[in-house]
């Protein structure tokens, strides 16, 4: 017996009191059966959209989906989507159903849903309505299309990435027939809006099964990010690296904390390794400049995928700096902080750790293990932040423009120049971030 939260129960009761069928459906049933707390609850009903609107006239309604039969009702427990039983008709463009057809029967509504584990509803007595074996697949950890996979992926190619996303998120396997079909039909993804592709990709990357899914379904990933294809099988000819670049990247994804920025960074961090590759006289492979070059490539990829600007800029900053040595002195750390800021330095520490997760420790006895270098950098960061008047930007100097003007400096570019010079000295460690010392140094600079 599965329980339904009160705010959902209230809506179900209102629909049923009006003479309609109504069921919690899809992800919330799946998550409840798995013992997880559903992120949101969806309801399907025999009530036509106009009836749903009438029944919930006292609520705030969000009506963006009415054409497809969805009315969203704002309750004290959050937004609940109520969708009229429907089939999706045909999909001439492989993206949007040409028209939806409302149907009288729950079973038909369940049949249009993507995967068996997403095609279950909850009956009023708390039992599960499961015509496609969703519970069995849930128990065995399997993502399987409802119906014939080829047909379903042709109807809506986004399901190809949704299958990967659910496999990563739930840490499930994809049924062999479904898996073979989605790889075979991957070119259909070209027709899907990039923002929808990106949204599924992000969901995939933060899942606990991300690395495995990326490896198993690499051709699908290369369909949406062709730049990564050159990584597969790319032998680094470097004693630190035992895996090819693609395998390494997928392992680095798993090793990073499950946040979109960090996982996107690890997915793309070595994208420029193949174009930057050269071997030295000893036959050892190197990739000088692959951080900067990789950041440029990632910028292009993420723009194409309609990634939001904040994420794109941060991912590119991290990629551009992922191949520098973790700062080993307070001065080097202050410089990095001044260059990228505190948040990005913390993220870089996570990226460096993820990047060396599969690295073989060097053959040369003189090499310091990466873990040690990263640990030292982290300790220095902590000490700097705990120390007196930490200063990693002009703004956090212990003096400001008004102080400089008060010294008799003329209003204009000279003020900014002096502040920048002071900041450079603080970063360098030649001046403390203390008001008196800064004012004294500024007075000297004023004369120049």
Query: How many CA atoms within 13 Å lie on the side-chain side of 366?
Result: 0
Binding ligand ATP (rule: CB under 6 A), the pick from 86, 144, 159, 290 is 159
> CB–CB of 234/273 below 8 Å?
yes
Q: Which does 113 bind (CB under 5 to 8 A by kind): ligand ATP, Mg ion, none?
A: ligand ATP
Q: Which stretch binds Mg ion (CB under 5 A): 24-32, 239-247, 314-322, 339-347?
A: 24-32
Instruction: Please report whether residue 86 would count as binding ligand ATP according to CB under 6 A.
Output: no
- Should residue 291 be labelled a site residue for ligand ATP when binding is judged by CB under 6 A? no
Integer Cα distance of 256 and 351 in angstroms: 7
27 contacts Mg ion (rule: CB under 5 A): yes
Q: Which is nearer to ligand ATP, 114 or 299 (CB)?
A: 114
Nearer to ligand ATP, 22 or 119 (CB): 119
Question: Should residue 391 be labelled a site residue for ligand ATP when binding is judged by CB under 6 A?
Answer: no
Minimum CB separation of residue 113 from ligand ATP in Å reads 3
**In 144-234, where do the E strands start and end?**
173-174
Interface mask toward ligand ATP for 96-135; x: CB under 6 A: -----------------xx---xx----------------
Q: Which two tokens stand for residue 107?
A: 């079973």
Instruction: Say how far apart CA 10 and CA 52 lie, in whole Å.
Output: 13
Choose the one of Mg ion, ligand ATP, none that binds residue 159, judging by a C-beta under 5 to 8 angstroms depending on kind. Answer: ligand ATP
Contacts within 8 Å (CB) and 24+ apart, 104-107: 104/46, 106/21, 106/23, 106/44, 106/46, 107/131
CB of 32 to ligand ATP, least distance (A): 11
CB 134 within 8 A of CB 117: yes
Task: Tell me whether residue 36 or residue 54 sits nearer to ligand ATP (CB atom).
Answer: 36
Nearer to ligand ATP, 131 or 401 (CB): 131
Tokens of 447: 């004369």
Q: What is the DSSP letter of 367?
A: P
3-state secondary structure of 206: coil
> Of the listed pieces 7-15, 47-55, 153-161, 192-200, which binds ligand ATP according to CB under 6 A?
153-161
Q: What is the total residue count of the chain?
A: 448
Cα separations (Å) of 287 from 151, 336, 417?
44, 22, 37
Coil/strand/helix, residue 53: helix
Q: Which of residues 207-266 bind ligand ATP (CB under 6 A)?
A: none
Output the smallest distance, CB 40 to Mg ion, in A. Answer: 5
* 158, 261, 298, 316: which one binds ligand ATP (CB under 6 A): 158
Q: How far is the CB of 80 from Mg ion (least distance, A)?
A: 11
**CB-count burial class (<10 Å; 0-12, 13-18, 19+) for 48:** middle
CB of 171 to ligand ATP, least distance (A): 14
> CA-CA distance, 160 to 189, in Å (whole number)?
8
Task: Check binding of 26 to ligand ATP (CB under 6 A).
Answer: yes
Residue 94: CB minimum distance to ligand ATP, A: 11
* Sequence-ordered strand ranges (E) for 172-276: 173-174
Of the CA atoms within 13 Å of residue 246, those in its CB half-sphere come to 20
Could you say which of Mg ion, ligand ATP, none residue 158 binds, taking C-beta under 5 to 8 angstroms by partner kind?
ligand ATP
- List of residues contacting ligand ATP (CB under 6 A): 26-27, 39, 42, 113-114, 118-119, 156, 158-159, 162
């Amino acid at each position: 017996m599965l329980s339904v939260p009160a705010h959902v129960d209230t809506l179900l009761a209102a629909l049923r009191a009006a003479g309609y069928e109504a069921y919690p459906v899809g992800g919330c049933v799946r998550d409840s059966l798995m013992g997880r707390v559903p992120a949101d609850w969806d309801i399907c009903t025999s009530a036509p959209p106009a009836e749903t609107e009438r029944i919930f006239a006292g609520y705030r309604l969000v009506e963006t989906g009415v054409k497809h039969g969805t009315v969203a009702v704002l309750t004290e427990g959050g937004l609940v989507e109520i969708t009229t039983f429907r089939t999706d008709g045909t999909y001439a463009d492989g993206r949007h159903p040409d028209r939806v057809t409302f149907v009288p029967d729950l079973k038909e509504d369940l049949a249009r849903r993507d995967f068996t584990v997403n095609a279950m509803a909850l009956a009023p007595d708390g039992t599960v309505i499961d015509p496609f074996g969703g519970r069995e697949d849930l128990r065995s950890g399997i993502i399987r299309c409802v119906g014939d996979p080829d047909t379903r992926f042709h109807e809506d190619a986004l399901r190809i990435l949704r299958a990967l996303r659910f496999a990563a998120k739930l840490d499930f396997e994809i049924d062999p027939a479904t898996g073979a079909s989605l790889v075979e039909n991957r070119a259909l993804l070209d027709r899907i809006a990039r923002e929808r592709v990106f949204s599924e990709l992000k969901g995939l990357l933060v899942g606990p099964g991300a690395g495995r899914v990326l490896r198993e379904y690499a051709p699908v990933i290369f369909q949406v990010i062709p730049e990564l294809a050159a990584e597969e099988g790319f032998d680094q000819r470097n004693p630190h690296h035992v895996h090819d670049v693609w395998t390494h990247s997928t392992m680095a994804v798993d090793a990073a904390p499950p946040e979109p920025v960090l996982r996107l960074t690890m997915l793309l961090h070595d994208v420029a390794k193949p174009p930057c590759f050269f071997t030295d006289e000893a036959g050892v492979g190197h990739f000088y400049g692959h951080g900067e070059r990789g950041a440029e490539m990632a910028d292009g990829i993420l723009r194409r995928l309609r990634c939001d600007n904040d994420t794109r800029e941060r991912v590119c900053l991290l990629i551009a700096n992922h191949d520098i040595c973790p700062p080993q002195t307070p001065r080097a750390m202050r410089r990095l902080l001044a260059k990228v800021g505190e948040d990005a330095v913390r993220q870089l520490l996570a990226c460096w750790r993820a990047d060396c997760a599969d690295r073989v420790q060097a053959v040369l006895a003189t090499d310091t293990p990466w873990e040690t270098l990263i640990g030292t950098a982290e300790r220095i960061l902590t000490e700097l932040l705990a120390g007196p008047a930490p200063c990693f930007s002009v703004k956090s100097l212990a003096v400001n423009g008004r102080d400089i003007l008060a010294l008799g400096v003329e209003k204009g570019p000279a003020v900014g120049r002096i502040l920048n010079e002071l900041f450079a000295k603080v970063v360098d460690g030649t001046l403390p971030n203390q008001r008196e010392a800064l004012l004294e140094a500024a007075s000297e600079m004023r004369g120049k």
